[in-house]
Chains A and B, each alone.
Chain A
Amino acid sequence: MTTAAPEPKGNMGQPVPRYDAVAKVTGRATYASDTPLANPAYAFLVTSAIAKGRIDGFDLADARRVRGVIEIFTHENAPKLKESKLFSNGGYASTTIQPLKSADIAHDGQIIAVVVADSYEAAREAAYRVKVNYAAAMPAATFDSPGATAAAAKGQNGQFKEDPRVGDFARAFDEAEVKLTAAYETPTQHHNPMELFATSCAWTGDDLVIYEPSQYVHGLKNGVAGQLGIDADKVRVVNPYVGGAFGSKGSMTPRTAIIAGIARRLNRPVKLVPTRDQGFTIATYRAETRHEIQLGASRDGRLLALRHEGMEVSSRPDPYCVGGTKTTTRLYACANVDSLVSIVRADRNTPGFMRSPPEVPYLFALESAMDELAVKLAMDPIELRRINDTANEPIDGKPYTSRSLMACFDAGARAFGWSQRSPAPGSMSDGDWLVGYGCAATCYPTQMAPAAARVRLQRDGRTRVEIAGHEIGNGAYTVIAQAAAERLGVPLEKVTVHIGDSDLPPAPVAGGSNSTASTCSAVMMVCDKVRQRLFRALLPNEGLADRAKETVGIGQTPATQAARSGQPLDRDKAFEALGADVVEDYGEWKPDGAPLDSFHAMHQGQMRMVGGDKMKGAIAYAFGAEFVEVRVNRFTHEIRAPRLVGAFAAGRIMNPRTARSQLMGGLIWGMSSALLESTEIDARTARYVNDNFADYLVPVNADVTDVKVIMLPEQDHRINPAGVKGLGELANVGTNAAVCNALYHATGQRIRKLPARLENIEI
């Protein structure tokens, strides 16, 4: 394992401990359902036992008899709510399937009743006593199920505008000396953040406060207000800490407005803590995907033709898709590229964002195929990547703002000991275990969105930063505090950070790995405004902006040292000149290329995210290379991955400690995804079967014995003022392919369908 607090290299901040570390390890961090409410009622959900059909009727007599039951809400008496559009189509919602609206059932585990009682226990018992009569219809579970329908993504999903293509793929593939055609599959996966999908709603008059773990408090506030038909100013969402999210808490799920409506009806705070298995169906998930990859290359390894076709499952009404071809068609130099993404509609809940939504399934396919091609070419897989490395993406010819892919491969290979690998499959072993080394590229788009912040600096250096960012374990408190301390030249311990509250200046969703780049850019900009006011007071005749830059440019030594010394500039004098003890400023920041309506949208809880392949004149991605050692027991075929190494370059690293934690978690999750995670669907009933933590497997400590994270220094001035690319979703992308490539090396057997399990090994 690498050390928890790596020494900063060039363009890295200090590895200071987490701002919230002590609160978390001492149990003082307050999560949504920990928040005390005055005289709350407790809600328990009843969810459907069929995936398609209608509710013929309820028998509630037995349930009502449970002592303490206040009311049971079904579609017959639930508060009426307005519709909300899908998040990816300009709305707020994770799904347009609105429960409790009619007797119709559109997916397994749909909310069909909410029991409210004086205690959690009574609500739960009554929920268990609710009897439902269904008129069930035959559902379509997934790919190939009778009744599932497929159509191109383009034209139905607002965010999937084009299937990237360039040149003449068919001809180039036809003429290529070396060809590969291979199909890959990834399973349904669920985020399973530790913190459940809790929601508490409390009204005071017309004002609503929602305590809910959310990755986007401003989105949730506006979305719920819309569903309730009230002014967004009346709604406040509070969540100082989110106990894991991974995308599942990014968009508004139907439960929130339902609970808010019930709390209003009952005129009493209502608290909901759904169960783990309900979380599988009342929120989102990563849908299963299928891929066909075709690669054509010259004998010397140059890619001449690349085609990637992806198929993804979504729900009946919602055209959700991740469309990762935008990345896989641009990763390597190749003159002839074709792609197609289609969506298969089935009777399922609507899928949604899950850590690196497009890249995880699509790069599994491409990076497995690259390994297969390397085998066909009898070439080292790293060399194949080097030959096809490129400074410009091939579709539109735009330059990468910076790209350290091969530097990552080289650093990773050194740390891993790649040179010790004997290339022939099955040629390495250790006692009972066959040993395999595999690698893969990883990447994730650099994204930013408009954000606002308020900063207040006192004469004694105490600083208060307010921004409605989100602490989802990403280290938001810490890096925001660091950004402010550096920019203002105050000691870190004087900075307090207020996030996770929609009463604060809006920040975008903590998703798409944009959080650090966006919030730190906004905070830095406002800090500059504060400094400029001080400078103006102190030096009324100087070129202010220049002077401020010179002394406090982010990452430049003077400010950092000043911050450390606690004696930055002449703060006292400046305040003296200003004739005040406090300076406070507010500002709104937007990245280059953000549309004109960005700030307006930001206040509506709508993001105008830019970056990745959507930048003008450039393309921005973070890169990495991942290496895995797998072991396959020659007798029992058990598969283990004892060693993971990742080398990453992601622009400025604000804090090597929190960054390492993200990257390490990503590597582990990637291994988990490759070897363990899969939500099993009962094909007959379109229902999830292993919807609990005992049966949905994730690694335990004993599975994770050695993880090494290497961060390469990288400077990128083009992307945003903070110089940050974002890395929350970088590390779990390449691991799936790296694991399967290592399995091939260990056994000679290619695993093209995840997860790789011992029954898939035939040796």
Chain B
Amino acid sequence: MRSFSYQKATDPGAALRALNAAATDSRPLTEAAAQPLAGGTTLLDLMKLDVMRPASIVNITPLARTWSAVDAGVDGLRLGALAKMSDVAAHPEVQRSYPVVADSLKLAASPQLRNMATLGGNVLQRTRCSYFRDVSYANCNKRNPGSGCAAMDGVNRMHAVLGTSNQCIATYPGDFAQALIALDAMVEITGASGTRSMPFAQLHKAPGNSPQIETSLQPGELISAFTVSGRWPRSLYLKVRDRQSYEFALSSAAVALDVQDGVISDARVALGGVATVPWRAREAEALLKGRRFDDGLAQRVAEAAFADATGRRHNGFKIALGRRVVARALQQAVTMEI
């Protein structure tokens, strides 16, 4: 960790002023001189590892006073960006009407981390690629654009099979984002010029030729909330990992269905642990809509979800695994008691 200056922002205006004062050049967001600090469970780790080297830290946790509410009403859900993962996971109405959201949070990290971590910080957590997180490896296009990718032909069991580029194959590690993208959530962004809203699906950027640019957020902007319309009681999050708890997904699926008289009228499928960004399997969804569910359909859907997947030396298994996870998650969602 390198020395940095620290300030605590007591309200959104002060936070934005502090961040904007430092946002002078055109570096990507993650390299910006000033970084907001929420729970710190991603940011401080990466600073200790010397991966992130902000000159200044703006503590935005006091914004929780205005930005941490959970509103679950008839027509939708609104989650303040500074709400804690644990609070949202335990919220009865979220559990009832948006189980995929509650599960994705409950199955993430550990109780201690969930008590610290915020929703805004969660969606912005950065990849767990071991080469990215160890600065003694020079070759990492995300950390050091143009330097190559050590993972491509290195140890890549945890890496992505979807959304990869020849620059970067790092997995987006989070769980909650899969629930948001599945439910067509909107993200509310507050900046110096006010508040805007955009589809959550547009927040993250696939690596392409510039893996260092991870989101469409600009320096000086803050996530203030997430919103979801409608209710999704028939939804769940299935997470497969090496151990029973406290571990990132090898493969996961966020599934939400609307079933009317045995026919699937709406279907959402998002994939975690296998893609470079929160991943919506729209081709798979298309196969489900208007159909009656059976195991054969589950298989076809699973195939479709991974039709474009490519594995490397150690992560090829994720393609077969991912298909099984999708099929199983759909089976469970169809038979869910709601």
A-side interface residues toward B, CB under 8 Å? 47, 49, 66, 121, 124-125, 128-129, 277, 635-638, 640, 675-676, 680-682, 684, 687, 689-692, 694-695, 697, 699-703, 757-759
Contact = CB atoms under 8 A, between A and B. Distances in A.
4 tightest A-B contacts by CB? A759-B317, A702-B244, A49-B136, A702-B245
Contacts of A757: 242
B6 interface: no
5 contacts: A124-B1, A636-B251, A638-B240, A682-B154, A692-B130
B321 A759 contact: yes
A684 B154 contact: yes
B321 A636 contact: yes
Contacts of A687: 137
B155 A690 contact: yes
A66 B1 CA distance: 12
A63 to B, nearest CB: 11
A121 B1 contact: yes
A631 to B, nearest CB: 11
Contacts of B50: 128
Contacts of B238: 636
Nearest to A672: B243
A680 B153 contact: no
B150 interface: yes
A335 B3 CA distance: 69
B136 A694 contact: no
B273 to A, nearest CB: 12
A639 B63 CA distance: 43
A699 B244 CA distance: 8
A695 B327 contact: no
Contact of A702 (B154, B242, B243, B321): B243
B254 to A, nearest CB: 15
B324 interface: yes
A697 B157 CA distance: 13
Given A125-B2, A635-B327, A684-B154, A640 B128 contact: no
Nearest to A682: B154
Given A125-B2, A689-B131, 11 more contacts: A47-B136, A124-B1, A635-B324, A636-B321, A680-B155, A687-B137, A689-B130, A699-B243, A700-B110, A758-B250, A759-B321
B71 interface: no
A121 B243 contact: no
A311 B44 CA distance: 42
A66 B154 CA distance: 35
Contacts of B242: 675-676, 697, 757-758
Contacts of A128: 1-2, 50, 135
B325 interface: yes
A277 B324 CA distance: 35
Nearest to B245: A702
Interface string B1-35: 11100000000000000000000000000000000
Contacts of A692: 130, 133
Contacts of B243: 676, 697, 699-700, 702-703
B128 A694 contact: yes
Contacts of A759: 317, 321
B155 A700 contact: no
Contacts of B244: 640, 700, 702-703
B292 to A, nearest CB: 21
B328 interface: yes
A336 to B, nearest CB: 41
B154 A689 contact: yes
Interface string B144-186: 0000001001110110000000000000000000000000000
A46 to B, nearest CB: 10
A689 B321 contact: no
Contact of A125 (B3, B150, B251): B3
Nearest to A690: B130
Contact of A700 (B1, B128, B131, B246): B246
Among B110, B153, B243, B325: residue with most chain A CB under 10 A:
B243
A689 B250 contact: no
B213 to A, nearest CB: 25
A681 B3 CA distance: 32
> DSSP majority for the B interface?
loop
Most chain B CB neighbours (cut-off 10 Å) among A129, A640, A691, A697: A697
Contacts of A700: 110, 243-247
A638 B317 CA distance: 13
Interface of B: 1-3, 50, 110, 128, 130-131, 133-138, 150, 153-155, 157-158, 238, 240-247, 250-251, 317, 321, 324-325, 327-328
A697 B247 contact: yes
Question: Which of B133, B153, B155, B241 gathers most chain A CB within 10 Å?
Answer: B155
Contacts of A697: 242-243, 247
B124 to A, nearest CB: 18
B308 to A, nearest CB: 21
A325 B102 CA distance: 52
A635 B130 contact: no
A757 B324 CA distance: 16
Given A682-B150, A690-B155, A636 B136 contact: no
B130 to A, nearest CB: 5
Contacts of B3: 66, 121, 125
B153 A758 contact: no
A695 B136 CA distance: 17
Contacts of A129: 2
A47 B136 CA distance: 9
A635 B155 contact: no
Contacts of A637: 321, 324
A691 B155 CA distance: 12
Contacts of B246: 700, 702
B270 to A, nearest CB: 17
Nearest to B315: A759
Nearest to B313: A683
A468 B241 CA distance: 44
A466 B243 CA distance: 43
A566 B131 CA distance: 62
Nearest to A699: B243
Given A758-B242, A759-B317, A695 B128 contact: yes
Nearest to A640: B244
Given A635-B324, A636-B324, A49 B137 contact: yes
Nearest to B150: A682
B328 A636 contact: yes
A412 B106 CA distance: 37
A759 B161 CA distance: 15
Contacts of A125: 1-3
A59 to B, nearest CB: 15
Contacts of B131: 689
Contacts of A690: 130, 155
Contacts of B158: 695
Contacts of A758: 240, 242, 250, 317, 321
A690 B131 CA distance: 9
A504 to B, nearest CB: 38
Contacts of B153: 684
Contacts of B138: 49
Given A682-B154, A702-B243, A636 B134 contact: no
B38 to A, nearest CB: 19
Nearest to B133: A692
Nearest to A638: B240
A759 B313 CA distance: 13
Nearest to B327: A635
A76 to B, nearest CB: 21
Nearest to B331: A635
Nearest to B248: A694
A277 B134 CA distance: 10
Contact of A635 (B2, B157, B328): B328
Contact of B325 (A124, A636, A682, A699): A636
Contacts of B136: 47, 49
A682 B245 contact: no
A407 to B, nearest CB: 34
A609 B87 CA distance: 57
